[in-house]
Every structure is written in structure tokens, then in C-alpha cells.
Chain A
Amino acid sequence: MTQKQKRQTVETDVLIIGGGVTGAGIMRDLAFRGLQTLLIDRKDLCAGASGGNHGLLHSGSRYISSDLHSAIECREESTILKHVASQCIEETGGLFVAVEGDDPGFAENFAALCQPAGIACNPISIDDAKKLEPLLSDKLFKAYKVPDATVDPFRLALLNVAHARMINSSSFRPHTELLHFTLKDGKIESATCRDNQTNSILTIYANQYVNACGAWAMNIAQLAGCKDVNLLYSKGTLLVSHDRLTTHVVNRLRPPGDGDILVPGGTVSVLGTTSIRVDDLITVKPTVAEIDINVREGTAMIPALAKARYIRAFSGVRPLLQSAGGSDDREATRGFALLDHSTQNLSNFCTITGGKLTTYRLMAEKTSDLVAGRLNNSEPCQTHVTPLPDEESCKWTEPGASPKYWYKANDPEDMILCECEMVPQSAIDEIVKDAPGAEKEMTLKAIALRSRAGKGPCQGSFCGIRIASYLYDQGHYHDKTGLIHMRDFFNERFKGTRTVTWGLQAAQMELAEALHCGLLGLDNLENN
């Protein structure tokens, strides 16, 4: 490195590493207790499992056969979240359906299994099921209704961070990667990080350090010299359909398997998932085989899935604590683990891992209890009763919301930049100005994460160009890096489209590539 690296030092009460919903939740919980935090992530919010899941707010019924404890946790937490994070949740309700070929015994017993967990599981007639969801297969033989719901994890993370910021100026830094810890006398003295966008070095001094890195928790723990975090990784791949196929969450009524769940995601549907053991976290991506399995299995429940247009696929990694054994990762406990590392000669470090989106708040509560306790802070948790306040810059991730705002405002000068999801200029303005993680030159990826831009059928191929042009107009971009942001954005979206490009999506891709490479030459940029 010939150029002198910029160096900076920051002090805070608690450093939280890992910008998933758990990290964001801890940030808010601690803020309520008067503790200031800095949240960092080497990428951005929801870069791990929090951004690669079904978006399902589990009623818990899915775990009744394999993990009663988790099932109960899910039931309790989903009830709490429906109250405190209602703006992030759509109470769609859920169905469990068995089709010809599924185990009738399992199907019969289902309600009985749900009972000990206290989950409201009501059998419904096939006719009623089909009235609720006309796309269900004719080969249906059993159906139940459960209180599943869907949740927008991006909005959840954004609102948690925004609220913490509002309470006590706690802050979030994206693209900030932990390089190493400096240890002294059984404590972490500081954390040295690199800002991957500016290439500058940031040294953080905190009283407590929290590892909320989900699947990467083992890597981070090892940096602190801890050997007590042992994780297995299970990849799950899901696909997103062009438009929403069902009103409810539709689950397959059988022991958990591939392609079992079709979850509404506002204006689309999400089909998944698979469970494949992977050894590293680097090469996690959807494979053609997984796509095909999901479609095949899902089609048994909902035949229309065979002909649906898909616009994207993505993978997430479930961190599994190695204590589980057993050959099927779905059998492993989905409960979470909070490690205080007391056996590792560290008194100000803890790791929270495992678990699921639905129980993030509980995970954050337990972690916050530990951290606060170590700081002799006895303020109570408030996150189970205090609703998340809304924030203007955080409202744009909700599917179908942006067009409604735009339509109501009826301002012809506020032009729509993402036509698929109808995201107007004013949304971009607000995000760039004020969203958690907003900064002087935001990448298109970061803007897209905080909105619906790029999430529609064209997967950003048109709006990436329009938004970039707008940002140049506004002076937000002013040199070639704007083009690099465009290229990076399209590359990012491509990861999702490359395995589902058939039928109409192939036409869409051809047009996109003709535009990006043929016309704009983004494949020829210098540092490609």
C-alpha cells in the first residue's frame, strides 16, 4: 500500500459486529437501557441470513415435530412482534396442506402435535382450503389453518437501527470489516477494522463486544481466540416469483423437506427451501439443481408453480450449533445459543448465534441482558412492549408501498425511477439523505437494499441506469465510480437471476445484457 491509509479512532459503550436483525435488535435493546452502541458490518444490513430467508414469521407449527422448544419460542415471539413491529408484518395467516403421496398419519396428527406448543392449529375442509387459495392442487387431502405471518426483515433491521439512533445517537457503519482484536488482561481492548469502501482503518474502543455475525460467528469468535463456537452450515435456496400467487403462507403438511413453503412477500411469492450442508461461507449461491427441486416439490402443492415466471433466486446460510448430531440438518435444533465465553478467558465478549428471524428479539434481549449485566446496568428490556416507531427513510422496503405513496402524492415532478416497483425520485432522495447507513456516496446496492428498487421483473436492469443518472444529476455521483456502482449493482442482481433464467426471464436478461454490455460497455470498465 503506497498510499497512506487514513486512520480513525472511535469510542463507544458496546461494539456489535454483524448487521443482521439480531445485531440491529441488540442495538435498540441496549439503547433503551441507556447504552450507546456502534453496529458494524463488513457489507451492509441483512447481508447474511437476515437478507436471505423466506420472510416468514413462524407461528411455530413448522417445528412441532422436530423441536418443541423452538416451536413455543416462535409462537410467543411472533405474537409479540405482531404487536411491536406491526408495520413490518403482514398477517397473512398460514395453511398446512397435504397432497396425495404425503404421509396421512403425519397429516392426521398435526393439530394434536401443535397443542402442547399452544399453537392455534385448526383443521379446515378441502373446499374451504381451496376457497381460501384457489391455486391449491386438486390432490389435496388434508388442510389446517395456522397463524403464520410474513415479515420484512429489511424494514425490521432499518427501524431497529433508526430507533437506536434516535434514542441515543447509536450508529451503524456499513462496509466496515473486522480485521483483528487487540486483547489484554482477559479483555478485548479494541477492535481494528477496515472500511472497505474508503480503505481507511478504524480502531474501535468499547467496553463490551458482541458477536452477532450469525453464520460467520465462528470466524469472528476465532479472531478473539475463542474455541467454543462450533458451527455447521446449512444452505437454503429460495426463488421469487414474478407476482404474488397466494394470500396465505402455504406449508407442506409433511416432515420438513425441500420446496415446502410458499410465502407471500407483499407483491411476490417466495418458494423454498432446500437444506444442503456446505463447508464454507464463500461459495454459497443458488444452484440449478436446487431451483429445480424447489419448483418440482412446490408444484405438488400448487401446480401453477410449474409455469410461473420467476425473477430471482437467493441463498441463505443457517448456522447450526454442532451439538446437534443427526444426519438431517433440519432435525438440528433451531434454537439459539448465547455464549458468554467465560471458559475462554474473556470477560467482555459474547456470541449470539443460531436461532431464526422470528426469535430475533428474544435473542437480542438475552444478549442485552448479558451485556448490560456485565456493565452493571440493570435497566429493564423494553423491546417486548414498546412498538418500533416509523421512520420516513425506512418505509421504502415495504412491497407495494412506494407506488401508493407516489400515487397519493400525485406530483408529476416526482418521476418514477424504478418502474417495476414504482419507486420515485423522492424515495431515493430520502434514503440518500437519512436512511441508516446513508453516506456521502451511496452505492446503488445500498440504495436498493433500502427500497424496492431492482426487486421487480427487470431486476434493476432499467432502473439501475435511471437511478444512476439521477444521482449524477444530483451531484451524488461525479466520476467514474458511478459506473462502477452500476456495474456492481447489476452483478449483484445477476447472482439472483442466473439460475432462474428461462421463459420470459430469458427475454428480460437478453435485453438487460444488450443494454449493459452491448450499449453501455459495463463489462469493459477498467477494474472489472
Chain B
Amino acid sequence: MCMSEEDRHFSAELAVIGTGLAGFAASIFALKRNIKTAQVGNTGAVAYTTGYLDLLGSLAPDYLASIEDPWQGIEQLRDSHPRHPLCRIPKDDIFTAFEQFTSFLGKCGIAYTPPGEFNVSGLTPAGTLKPTLCVPATMQVGSAAFSQKEPCVIIDFKGLKGFSSRQVVANLKDRWPKLSSKRVEFPDMVSGEIYPEVMARSLEVPATREKLAKILASAAGDVKVIGLPAILGMHAPDLVREELEQLTGLQIFEIPTMPPSVPGIRLREMFEQLFPQKGVTLIPQQKVDRLVFIENGAQLSLNDSFGPISIHAKSVILATGRFLSGGLKAGVDGVSEPLLKLPVTQPDSRREWYREKYTDRRGHAVNSAGIEVDSSFRPLDNHGRPYSKNLFAAGVILAHQDWIRGRCGAGVAIATAYKAVEEVEKLLK
């Protein structure tokens, strides 16, 4: 090597491996407890988040219906599926975790409704509804307008693929008769295709808001509530929405879109920008190559384009996610956990991974595969003992939960991260 390779060393009390919802939640809780934290991960998949924070929307094993009361749902799960991660955490803690998480996001400019007693109906771009616990403030009016069945216009944009206001209206009309649709053109867009991201960023400019406000007001006609695809700003969505509402005199909400979607990108950018400012050592573009547990801690090794980086941490939270983010690997012969080779609870063979029908309500067995943890969320080794007293795990890498069918992705991520950090704090004392 001709130019100096820079060897960088960091030390921390906690190393969070994973930059998804669970990883970021863990850092938030660690910050609150003044735990010196380093966080590493190959960020990307968090950008797919819809923005909704689901605690629990449907019950295993049949996932037959949307549930209205997730807290009661968790109680039911305790009887039927005691190994579900949500069942291993006291409800009060789950509530506190959601409160802290959403309040943090709110302080960072992405306000959320606080966790309540019941699920809310979130709108989707297909015109279906999904049960969720916390809704971004930018989407809140939509859920409210739906429950009040207020007259509302869903507006879409020429050139935006995958979001059709006619589709939304066609599928909600029977339950929401006063819903109608309109198409407009976004100001200053060159012909052809437009992305929500581009529109959202453009709305951070006051002049664009003014232009769009006129267009929206005209499209709304006499109606006082309008719904848009999620484009209400990227960095300051609450501000953008408020200003547009002021300019138009309307109530405005947004609906999540298919990827590449704005709410996920908002979170990613916010986490990546703010965490270092708040004192987290964040390395968001790299995967950990090696993780070794030593006396009273762990050594993480990774590399970037300048050379090797090593982190020494007293504790580690493994929050590396599933197949999409690389926390689990699906091989021809089975599912494995690539970083530590932790044993993965899974169906006996690949034949049993997937049911016959994709939309079989019961979901697919491979989606409940994952690593086992004890009651303090320490991953277990092949002998059923904690792999290391310094290692914890959080998020959807855990077994016994199907975050997609159960509509509990955020719930599992946030609640288990909370618990894991609590255990880390105990360990550090």
C-alpha cells in the first residue's frame, strides 16, 4: 500500500450491529441512558419502511383478522405463543419504548401520534387499510378523515408510477362514499417520470409550496380534506405539511407509496445525520467482518476505503435483521446466521419453508425462523446457553415471530431493542 492506511480504533460501552429500526431504536434508548454507543451496519433496507409503526396487527397462527387492541392481542399471544418476542417483555415497557421512540422522532422533526390503547387504520396506496399503532403526523389526518367519513379528494400526480388515486378511491368507496380522485401535475417537473423523493425535496423550497398550494386548492374544489402520496417534505415533513395547510386552507395528509418511498428515506437520513451529533459513533455503510468475544467485551472488525476499523465494546446488540439486510442467510440447505454462526431455529428442510399459496393467511414457516434468546435477550448457542454474557439481540432476526403477517415489525424492533438496552445497562453497572 502506497498511501497510509489508517487504522482506526473506537471504544464504546455498547456496539449496536445493524442500522434498521431495531438498531436505531437501540441507539436511541442507549443515548437516553447515557451509554456510550457505536453503531455499525450496511444501511439501506430501512429506507423501505412505510412510516407506520406497527405494534401488533394480527394474531398468530392464522392471522385471520386485523386486531383492534394490540395490547390485548399481546395477552392472547402470551397464552398461545409465549415465545413470541413481544410476550417476553412487560406491556408497560413496550408502551414506554414506543413513547420514547416516537417522542425522539418528534423532536427530530418527524412527529408521530403517541402510542394509544388501540390500533389505528392506516391507509395504503391500494386503497386497503392496515392496522398500526403510531402514525406519522403527516398521515394522521387520513386515518381521522376515514373514521369520520369526511368528504375527501385523493390527489395523484402525472408521472408518478404505482400510485393511482382512482385505485385508492375504487377500493375505499364502499366504506368511504365521499371519497373522490383527481390528478394534477407537480410544478416545474420536466416531462416523463417523477419520483416521490424528488417531489418531497422540492417541497422543502417555499416557492414550490406556494405553487403546489394553488394547484391543490384548485383540485380540492369545495372539499376540505385532501390526501396525497407521501411527498410532504423530506427533512421537515411537519413543517411542510403545516405550511401547505396554511396556504391552501385545507387539511392535508399523505399515504405511503411503494418503494422507493419517502417515509423510509426520511428516517434513514434523520438517523444518519443526527446520531453522530448526539454522540453515537455511527458507521452506516459497512458490515462487520468479524466479531470476537473476549474477556469483558467484544472486538468488532470492519473495513472502509481507508483501511481497517476496530471497535472494542463492553457489550453488543445484534440487530442485523433477516434476509433483506443480511442478518440471516438462506442457503440451499438451510438458514444460517452469518456473523457468529448462531444456531437458527427453522423448519426441518427447505421443503417446509413456504406453503403452497403465497397469500395463505397463516404465512410461511421460514418467516418465523430466527435466533433464540433467553429472557434477557441474550442469543443462545448450540447448547442452549447464552453465547456470551456480553451479547444481546433485538429485532426481526429473532425466531418465533412473523413480522409481516403479524404486522408487528416495529413492535418487535422497538420493544426488543428497549429490553436489550435495559439488559446492557444492567451489565454495565
Contact = CB atoms under 8 A, between A and B. Distances in A.
Interface stretch (A206-214, A357-365, A442-450, A474-482): A474-482
Interface stretch (A6-14, A164-172, A485-493): A485-493
B48 interface: yes
Contact of B193 (A288, A412, A472, A518): A412
Interface stretch (B5-13, B72-80, B120-128, B234-242): B120-128
A181 interface: no
B323 A507 contact: yes
A483 B128 contact: yes
A475 to B, nearest CB: 8
A473 B166 contact: yes
Interface in B308-347: 322-324, 326, 329-332
A491 B358 contact: yes
Residue picked from A412, A483, A487, A510, most chain B C-beta under 10 Å = A510
A287 B351 contact: yes
B347 to A, nearest CB: 11
A479 B164 contact: no
A469 B192 contact: no
A520 B126 CA distance: 6
A514 B48 contact: yes
Contacts of B116: none
A327 to B, nearest CB: 26
B174 to A, nearest CB: 8
Nearest to B58: A524
A417, A465, A479, A487: residue with the most chain B Cβ atoms closer than 10 Å: A465
B137 interface: no
A413 B192 contact: yes
A412 B50 contact: no
A478 B65 CA distance: 25
B322 A517 contact: no
Contacts of A466: 161-162, 258
Nearest to A523: B359
Contacts of B331: 502-503
In this complex, the member of B48, B126, B353, B367 whose beta carbon has the largest number of chain A beta carbons within 10 angstroms is B126
Interface residues of B, number: 56
B314 to A, nearest CB: 32
Contacts of B357: 491, 494
Interface in B343-370: 349-351, 353-354, 356-361, 363-364, 366-367
Contacts of A468: 167
Contacts of B4: none
Interface string A498-521: 110111001101110111111111
| Majority secondary structure of chain A interface residues (helix, strand, loop or mixed) | helix
A518 B404 contact: yes
A126 interface: no
B23 to A, nearest CB: 17
A482 B167 contact: yes
B340 to A, nearest CB: 19
B162 A519 contact: no
Nearest to B131: A521
A523 B50 CA distance: 18
A127 interface: no
A292 interface: yes
Given A465-B162, A483-B171, A498-B354, A515 B259 contact: yes
Nearest to B409: A518
Nearest to B325: A507
Contacts of B167: 468-469, 472-473, 477, 482
A288 B356 CA distance: 12
Interface string A49-73: 0000000000000000000000000
Interface residues of A, number: 57
Nearest to B351: A288
A396 B349 CA distance: 39
Contact of B358 (A289, A475, A494, A519): A494
A292, A412, A503, A509 — most chain B CB neighbours (10 Å): A509
Contacts of B351: 287-289
Contacts of B191: 412-413
Contact of A412 (B125, B129, B192): B192
Nearest to B54: A518
B407 interface: yes
Contacts of A223: none
A349 to B, nearest CB: 36
Most B-side CB within 10 Å, residue of A285, A417, A494: A494
B405 A523 contact: yes
B407 A518 contact: yes
Interface in B210-263: 256, 258-259
Given A513-B364, A514-B48, 15 more contacts: A415-B193, A469-B162, A472-B164, A473-B183, A478-B166, A482-B167, A487-B359, A494-B354, A499-B350, A502-B330, A502-B350, A513-B404, A518-B403, A521-B129, A528-B359
18 contacts: A295-B332, A415-B192, A462-B258, A466-B162, A468-B167, A470-B161, A472-B170, A479-B171, A480-B170, A490-B359, A498-B353, A502-B331, A507-B324, A514-B324, A517-B404, A519-B124, A522-B128, A524-B65
Closest 4 CB pairs of A and B: A412-B192, A494-B358, A506-B330, A472-B167
